[in-house]
Structure 1
Amino acid sequence: MPSSKNLVLIVDDSKVQCKVLSALLEEDNYRVIVANDGATGVEMFITHQPDLVLMDVNMPIMNGYEATRRIKAMSGVGNLAPLMFITSMGSDESFINCVEAGGDSILVRPFSSAVFKAKIKALQRISDLVEQVKSLQHEQKNDAELAEKMMSEVIESRNYGLDRIGVIKKPAALFSGDIQLSALSPNGNIHVLLGDFTGHGLRSSIGAIPITETFRVMTKKGFSISDIIMQINSQLYTLLPGDLFFAAGFACISEHEKSAYVLNAGLPDAYLFNEQADIKHQFSSKHPPLGILPEILSDVQLDIINIHPHDRLVFLTDGIIEARNQEGEYFGSQRFETAVKEGVIEGDIAKNIQKKLADFCKNTEQEDDISLVDIPCCSWINNNDITVISSNLSDELSELDNSLSIPLAWSYHLHLTGKLLKNTNPIPLVMNQINDLEGAGEHWQSLYTILTELFVNALDHGVLKLDSALKNSPEGFSSYFNERTQRLNLLQENKQGNAHEDFVRISLQYYPLFQGGKMLIKIKDSGVGFNVLKVIKTNSQLLNTGMSLSGRGINIVDQLCDTLEYQEDGTLVIASYIWRNKQVLD
């Protein structure tokens, strides 16, 4: 027997038929309400939301077909009540009309009470299934909302610079197929990603969490933006089904190099705007979306652009320029550029874009996820993050070291040659070893900066014989890195047995001190060397005048290190880095 909660609406202009049907239903513990015309039946359906509906065809005011169409139009919103026509018309045309109006079943008079109750049981099974579906949909909705909240917390709340980076995120469904990521590299560079998976909704976001973890972990470990792009592409190629891919824009903003490194892989054009809202550069897509090819195309290079303090880099997804108004017109690139320029002048790009989109689209249904990131190109470097060893601390720790004759705790050596110099970034590998041996610590960020600058100098100026003066102009940066890529490719062609072998050798020696520690760093390269004093003097003069875009890295290294010296005609650099433990500083 059904429980007393089950309610049946009978819509029939015959009061006798209503009484008969009501009596049969009440025998099976149904509650019954009655309407004697189609219009009243529609009103009672809205008011009472019955579990089953029994509908006559020929009635005054509104016939059963029209009443059924109106009820079924509303049923999809929240009440999918099964509806059965009860009629004296048994023709084929009558059956077709009942089905086309939305009836779920038909019962032709005359009929026995047993047949009627059997039909009601069949309808009840449909009603029960509908309730189960509604319950499952409710649970699914709750689960989806919880999953979306968790994903948002995992992905967005841990982004770096949330108070500085302008963001628009407006999903077309509960789940967004767009993701925005930002993270701080140990050397102070900012890595940013805006990505757009195919489509929108839960399916389109399946790669978001693994991409997020890869991006953040590799950035934290000091991998370059190029290494991160290659790893994410490989990961997505393995992870995603064939019809799902990932259009993405990547940027590394290096304030101390005054440069931005950008790759657009399948997104609409990205932009670099200056303080006057002029477009300094447009970054068109240079690579297919990630996840399509097993490897990044070898001939595709990052765009390397000189940046100034008030420049802003803007990435967007196609949901913005393909947003449509009620006339079907696209928002388009021109409106977007105009809106960004106004936003630069008003001081809030994201807010202005959202306003312009709302005014343009009005109440038009959103068809795709809408996302944007607006990244400032200055004031990321916090001088307080650079711990410069004071002379007093240096003397104190050196005296402690000498007086106690602190023994060497461990040493680490890495020798890279030929092809490995092209394909391997050794600094994250070295830092992983240090973290495994000594645990995490804020002081390792300064060590990362030291190692990175010294290794890059050894590779670029020692092995590759590149002249840093090439970088002393905005155009020079691009020329410098193009030449660097060409010379790295030539390293693969060295044959075994060559008299001259290209190499860089890294050696570390760690001495634990009572109040902290000391790392002795030696980096040797196969270059021909250089006049150390002349180069340092030239760099110092250019830096003092603000004319040099190069040489800044070694200046930072000199501040971070206790001692820094070049030997063997500049092919060997020896640096010592001394730090106090955090609790001592506190």
Structure 2
Amino acid sequence: MLQPAQQIVVDIYADESEFSRTVLAELKRLEIARRIKVKPFTAWRANKALVHPTIVISATDVAELHKSLRFPQQLLIVPKALANGIWQRWQGDTIAWPESVEVLFKRLQLMAHGFNTARQLNAVRDSLIWHTQRVEREHELVEHIFRNALSRNFTHYKHIRTLLTPASKFNGDLCLIAPGHLGNLYVLMADFTGHGLAPATGALPLSQAFFAMADRSVSVAEMVIEFNYRLNRLLPSDMFCACFLLELSANGEWLTYWNGGMPPALVFGSDGIVKHRLTAQHMALGVLTVEEFDSQVATIRTTKDDAIALFTDGVIEMLSQKREFLGMDALEDLIQTYPKRDDFNTLISELENFRGNQPLHDDLSLAILECRPTGLVRQQHDGEVEALPFTFTTELQADELKRIDVITAVLGIIGRLPTLHGHRTTIYLLLAEVFNNALEHGLLGLDSRMKNDPEGFAYYYQLRIERLQELESGSISIAVRYDHAQNYLHFTVRNSGRKWEAPALPAIDTTHKPYGRGLDLLQKLAHDLRWQNQGREVSFGYQLTAG
């Protein structure tokens, strides 16, 4: 609570009347302050800023006394004959002289207390005004930076519809879209912890990395590795970023994704029936160190009639007027009811009707991407140095397999090939599949059938971590050959572990299995796929000029 400071100075403005001299003499005799500064009445102004508690003494009713006071906490002393008339116009306190000593002292104390309180409140008000103006200016600067950072966002892409509604001035959610070099498309949906300015600042480094890596047609796996590295170093320990990142092929038939801590994305057909729920199988960005982070991606086949709905938890946790959550089932029902492109505004209206006047408690973001051929023009790369034919071979021992991100390292070596633009994700997927088979089945002795139930799936990867840490012997060699004339890459991966029975080609049924999709992808996208030496050696080719 505000407390008045002890007064040591009182300003007194007095006219030259005998009344004023009498009152002034009495005030000095009573020692109302340690120091009294007497000033002529003509120097007093109603709108004048006061420095000390102020007493005004006047024997006449002058026009200046009727004006609005800047500080109403002033004491006016007038003869009793003038008191009634002035009381109706004077905005401060008034004493009709003469007055008893006790009443006089109380009135002086009230005047001093009121003055000090008003002065402190005005100081607080001025401080708040200054602070508010400074915050508004800083917000304007941050908004300007955000606009520039997101100016490249490809939100006008014709096959995507978005709803981005922040719970406060700044959005802790992020939806980024960028075209790739071969007509492919990248889409990122992210949700930082909390909402407002603090989580929104994480959008800056994430968006910069996203657009820079999309320009280089970096694979989804490489992207999330870089995102996690940056955010792990940048964010405080109590803050992280849930993220869903996808790449859609130019023909709209392949969708590669990574889901870290986000609600399951929904892949649905033209009838609204959900075909796939792309659930999170990774931790959010910024939580794990580089060594702990898992960048493994998944790929599904899509058709031109499919669409994928990406959303943050603000959508399914939206509250109704009855304070009930929307939930996943209700959202799927809405998507099934309004699956078409032209239904999007109606879908949004239904969400708004559900919420009613209930305020948002979290940022709300929804994007629906149609899995159609993108229609994006393949970008040309001028001024790139023509690549030479080469052969690259490496053999990795147990110690190196524990600490090196092998696939990213290999892609980094061959990544300067001019024609590799737009193929990085596919090559990453193919190479990661054969390498992981060599490591998990050859050296670590894991069986994919363990993934048949959710508990077994988690146990499989926990066992993978444990056995890799305990691995003391064994090796994996990777050979890459580039045929300059044919613009063709050939890969061979060998391991020194146990034999592995390769699946019969060409048919692999992965419809109802949580494993085997990588092998299906190998059969569809790789050339001349061969297993040799009882499954210990796998070779395949890849045509870089393929659409």
Matched residue, 2:141:
143
Kept in 1: contact 2:319–2:358 (CA 8 A): no
Counterpart residue identity of residue 87, structure 1: D
* SS of residue paired to 1:88: strand
Distance 1:355 1:37, change over 3 A: farther
* SS of residue paired to 2:413: helix
Matched residue, 1:330:
323
What CA distance in whole angstroms lies between the structure 2 residues aligned with 1:260 and 1:579?
Answer: 18
Per-residue CA deviations over 1:116-141 (Å, capped at 9, x if unaligned) read xxxxxxx9x99998886676456435
Matched residue, 2:433:
456
Q: Where do 1:254-293 residues align within 5 Å?
A: 263-265=259-261, 269-270=263-264, 272=266, 274-275=268-269, 276-277=271-272, 290-291=285-286
Distance 1:56 1:171, change over 3 A: same
What CA distance in whole angstroms lies between the structure 1 residues aligned with 2:358 and 2:206?
Answer: 32
Q: Where do 1:5-16 residues align within 5 Å?
A: none
Kept in 2: contact 1:321–1:330 (CA 8 A): no
* SS of residue paired to 1:456: helix
Kept in 1: contact 2:501–2:535 (CA 8 A): yes
Deviation at 1:168, TM superposition (A): 2.0
Kept in 2: contact 1:191–1:253 (CA 8 A): yes
What CA distance in whole angstroms lies between the structure 2 residues aligned with 1:59 and 1:359?
Answer: 62
Counterpart residue identity of residue 330, structure 2: T
Kept in 2: contact 1:416–1:504 (CA 8 A): yes
Q: Find out whether 1:551 has 2:524 as its counterpart.
A: no
Counterpart residue identity of residue 93, structure 2: T
What CA distance in whole angstroms lies between the structure 2 residues aligned with 1:419 and 1:382?
Answer: 46
Distance 1:338 1:98, change over 3 A: farther
Counterpart residue identity of residue 205, structure 2: P
Kept in 1: contact 2:172–2:191 (CA 8 A): yes
Deviation at 1:146, TM superposition (A): 1.3
Question: What is the percentage of aligned positions where both structures have the same residue?
Answer: 17
Deviation at 1:206, TM superposition (A): 2.2
Pick aligned residue for 1:197 from 188, 192, 201: 192
Kept in 1: contact 2:477–2:493 (CA 8 A): yes
* SS of residue paired to 2:170: coil
Per-residue CA deviations over 1:205-248 (Å, capped at 9, x if unaligned) read 222222334456667665554x7556545543432234x41251
Q: Where do 1:90-169 residues align within 5 Å?
A: 90=107, 92-93=109-110, 103-104=118-119, 136=134, 139-153=137-151, 157-158=153-154, 162-169=157-164
Kept in 1: contact 2:483–2:489 (CA 8 A): yes
Pick aligned residue for 1:428 from 408, 417, 420: 408
What CA distance in whole angstroms lies between the structure 1 residues aligned with 2:281 and 2:320?
Answer: 27
What CA distance in whole angstroms lies between the structure 1 residues aligned with 2:253 and 2:490?
Answer: 26
| Aligned-pair Cα RMSD in Å | 6.0
Kept in 2: contact 1:320–1:371 (CA 8 A): no
Matched residue, 1:418:
398
Matched residue, 2:93:
87
Pick aligned residue for 1:341 from 318, 326, 333: 333
Larger Rg: 2
Deviation at 1:415, TM superposition (A): 2.0
Distance 1:419 1:216, change over 3 A: farther
Distance 1:462 1:241, change over 3 A: closer
Counterpart residue identity of residue 88, structure 1: T
Pick aligned residue for 1:539 from 505, 513, 517: 505
Matched residue, 1:44:
none
Matched residue, 1:495:
472
TM-score by length of 2: 0.59
Kept in 1: contact 2:46–2:64 (CA 8 A): no
What CA distance in whole angstroms lies between the structure 2 residues aligned with 1:64 and 1:375?
Answer: 70
Matched residue, 1:372:
366
Counterpart residue identity of residue 503, structure 1: I
Kept in 2: contact 1:195–1:246 (CA 8 A): no
* SS of residue paired to 1:371: strand
Pick aligned residue for 1:314 from 305, 310, 315: 310
What CA distance in whole angstroms lies between the structure 1 residues aligned with 2:124 and 2:387?
Answer: 81
Deviation at 1:422, TM superposition (A): 6.2
Distance 1:257 1:204, change over 3 A: same
Distance 1:422 1:56, change over 3 A: closer
Deviation at 1:187, TM superposition (A): 10
Per-residue CA deviations over 1:244-279 (Å, capped at 9, x if unaligned) read 4125143557889978766453x5x43536445456
* SS of residue paired to 1:431: helix
Kept in 1: contact 2:258–2:295 (CA 8 A): no
* SS of residue paired to 1:341: helix
Distance 1:553 1:211, change over 3 A: same
What CA distance in whole angstroms lies between the structure 2 residues aligned with 1:296 and 1:579?
Answer: 31
Per-residue CA deviations over 1:300-351 (Å, capped at 9, x if unaligned) read 99897977643634332337624565xxx435134x7435522443225763
Kept in 1: contact 2:161–2:367 (CA 8 A): yes
Q: Find out whether 1:246 has 2:226 as its counterpart.
A: no
* SS of residue paired to 1:203: helix
Q: Find out whether 1:209 has 2:204 as its counterpart.
A: yes
Per-residue CA deviations over 1:74-99 (Å, capped at 9, x if unaligned) read xxxxxxxxxxx643364555666788
Counterpart residue identity of residue 437, structure 2: D
* SS of residue paired to 1:539: coil
Q: Where do 1:72-83 residues align within 5 Å?
A: none
Pick aligned residue for 1:351 from 345, 350, 369: 345
Whose helix proportion is higher, 1 or 2?
1
Distance 1:318 1:216, change over 3 A: same
Unaligned regions of 5+ residues in structure 1, if any? 1-19, 29-33, 42-51, 66-84, 107-122, 386-405
Deviation at 1:197, TM superposition (A): 2.7
Per-residue CA deviations over 1:441-490 (Å, capped at 9, x if unaligned) read 344444763575256235416972599x979xx96999789757745753
Q: Find out whether 1:505 has 2:499 as its counterpart.
A: no
Distance 1:382 1:530, change over 3 A: farther
What CA distance in whole angstroms lies between the structure 1 residues aligned with 2:419 and 2:187?
Answer: 22
What CA distance in whole angstroms lies between the structure 1 residues aligned with 2:353 and 2:465?
Answer: 52
Counterpart residue identity of residue 195, structure 1: A
* SS of residue paired to 2:236: coil
Q: Where do 1:21-36 residues align within 5 Å?
A: 24=45
Matched residue, 2:18:
none
What CA distance in whole angstroms lies between the structure 2 residues aligned with 1:579 and 1:149?
Answer: 37
Unaligned regions of 5+ residues in structure 2, if any? 1-40, 50-62, 75-82, 96-106, 379-385
Between the two proteins, the alignment pairs up a number of residues equal to 453
